[in-house]
Structure 1
């Protein structure tokens, strides 16, 4: 989704100019609306201008260039540490300074005790000293009792991201091992499933590591930071990963905010392959036995939309015998699932030609499956709204239409426009669905709550005299847990249109 730069469309560009954009790495979808995520990260690699750098490795592991903790003025950069540089005293990884003592407002006290993972700038009443990004912040209540401990970020409105509340915890590899072990236990069914090797392992706030995401793609791991506060702790985080989750590839991605932060060393402003072979062909993984490829350095999110896994599985269950249209198709995740489920024909449409070429490669990767080999897969490049209007004018009809657009509401005040855009998509999709066919429509913004979104789709269908029979209303999968309201971004409706009377 999203508007492509002239002459530089990439697999990270997706199909809508007028109502929203989606660039490589979105909170989704800008990367979708994962809290704290940058909404649009464009990378020079998308146009072929950048070959992802690698830090020189020793025994498969390299020390990370961490923050220079010496006092500096706002906006002053860090001395870059290149792969060929011999680290000196000023370049060596360092440990954070003394913890900050932070006292917060009564309202913030209540929020933290209720499990909210953020403390905002205007919630801080008193702080012991001027902190720098990555400092440990120890929160106290009005009676000087321990409240929580987290990571400090002086550049963000979210000043402290909570790692542990209620009882003291030492920030470091031990705590990170605990969080990782808890996350793996929650995902045990996925970890033990040989047919699915792509899923989220750490989901930021949902796994009590706010501002950090870790995804598994087959034998590789992709780590994405949404705050520079994590950068001084990457070596200790890697120590926990090496112990509990060793991998052949580890890639690092910064969000747009981290890339542009004055607290970020130059060597961590762009994606870096921390260990493993070059990712020229991406990272291959399985989902329900189907072969997919993620492209961390040029694609959305960490390279693929893992959050839609369960919805793709449901499409696969429902698609037998139906011709399927996949709107905002990106690299064809829903398209391949529909074909594997027995859809005789699938049309994928997106603004990005490279994304559609990758969708075709996904079909090629799975040509050993009779159902995929037998499905007629077509692609069409263009603006999603315009393509749908053209299909209707041409009299094209489908047994299933999948509509998985960008968030449309990434900032406060955009909610009404987003709902209008969702309504327009519902109208266009319903015109293209045969009697008795299925609409699959998703939303990926936390600014539109589930009830408002579902009512928008259902009321639009009712107004069009095509009231939907709800098959399912879905939310977050198990590997994208939600612990606070701002984290609840994903919802999807499956509805059947009336049969002809």
Structure 2
């Protein structure tokens, strides 16, 4: 790992690197020999061979690595990782001290100084997600660093080395004591059953913590709630605990039903009093229109891209149409929770989608609240793409 390769940055990308942009884009650097290994440390130089930054080489989507330091003398070793992890853990001290929340992010990639790696905390267990072979080459140093700076019972990992970030099947357990699954975690007092050893996802998306709390505390009481793309029903559980009359959870995945039943059950909620439907959301929308169904609250949190037998959904292109259908099923004065984790557009454009959808339906609306990533999903202003989450709570006006 001691070998450092010098790489020229193309002239039009020098200013962005100097300004703190952390991603080494594919087109930002001069061609590197094909036999270079991912994980090699690279010094980025300008056209006059002046040092700009130090990083690692690793293929991730359209990136070719991440900047790690602006100090040419800094050594990327276990001590480097310990210092970064210490800072990240101290930044989240209030969450570690909160007995009502035992699941949150403790290291958020480039936001905490190391692009390509996230670390989540689940009731004493750590989950490392690797987004390139480049950062994975430092696994031993990273695990050793975590052993020195963090308290944990066991470590699990998810590998997303594929160009599109898809999960690579394999043994997810790394070291320590193996957890008993489901592992029950708390989030603002709500319990969730999670799995660190069962495929790409754990059972809950931690970035929606504040939104679930708001649904429970402010909007759910006395409401009928439709939760689309419901996954394991986390929003539905929050709504039910907030006093919703009934929740309806709709997701295409067959296992979503058993997973949602489990989430209701660990919170002492009678799942038989709720509706849990396995169906394509677009098919369900058509059914609901035919049956003249209306809901007091509709939650829209689709994936950035989804494909079923009859439909292909791309958030950047299709969100306004999806929202139009949700508006049709929302009562007057009802609430729509519109959410997207797509990083290719910002909040301003997302609000444009909302305006377009309501205009197409000839309906009025009022924006009540907006959310982006919670504080543990730390981001930096130099990398706006990292702040991907956009949530707008909307009231449909008479």
Q: TM-score, normalised by structure 2?
A: 0.89
1:353 aligns with 2:254: yes
Who is 1:60 aligned against? none
Who is 2:310 aligned against? none
Is the 1:259–1:270 Cα contact (8 Å) retained in structure 2? no
Distance in 1, Cα, partners of 2:165 & 2:14 = 31
Equivalent residue in structure 1 for 2:184, among 284, 293, 298: 284
1:476 partner SS: coil
Who is 2:368 aligned against? 471
Cα 1:307–1:289, aligned 2, differ >3 Å: closer, same or farther?
same
Who is 1:197 aligned against? 102
Q: Which runs of 5+ in 2 are unaligned?
A: 308-312
Equivalent residue in structure 1 for 2:139, among 219, 234, 237: 234
Who is 1:405 aligned against? 302
Cα 1:145–1:440, aligned 2, differ >3 Å: closer, same or farther?
same
Who is 1:491 aligned against? 390
1:310 aligns with 2:210: yes
Measure how far apart 1:443 and its partner are: 1.1
Is the 2:112–2:378 Cα contact (8 Å) retained in structure 1? yes
Considering Cα pairs closer than 8 Å and 6+ residues apart, tell me whether 1 or 2 has the greater RCO: 1
Q: Which runs of 5+ in 1 are unaligned?
A: 1-95, 262-267, 411-415
Aligned-residue CA RMSD (Å): 2.8
Counterparts of residues 63-462 of structure 1 (less than 5 Å): 96-125=1-30, 131-153=36-58, 157-166=62-71, 168-257=73-162, 270-278=170-178, 281-317=181-217, 318-367=219-268, 372=269, 376-408=273-305, 418-462=315-359
Measure how far apart 1:325 and its partner are: 0.8
Measure how far apart 1:301 and its partner are: 4.1
Is the 1:186–1:478 Cα contact (8 Å) retained in structure 2? no
Distance in 2, Cα, partners of 1:304 & 1:428 = 26
Distance in 2, Cα, partners of 1:109 & 1:255 = 29
Is the 2:338–2:393 Cα contact (8 Å) retained in structure 1? yes
Q: Deviations over 1:273-323 (max 9, x none)?
A: 112455562332110111112223335445521111111111112111111
Q: TM-score, normalised by structure 1?
A: 0.72
Out of 386-395 and 332-341, give the one that drifted further. Answer: 386-395
Is the 1:139–1:147 Cα contact (8 Å) retained in structure 2? yes
Q: How many residues end up aligned between the 2 structures?
A: 390
Out of 293-302 and 141-150, give the one that drifted further. Answer: 293-302
Is the 2:60–2:131 Cα contact (8 Å) retained in structure 1? no
Cα 1:129–1:400, aligned 2, differ >3 Å: closer, same or farther?
closer
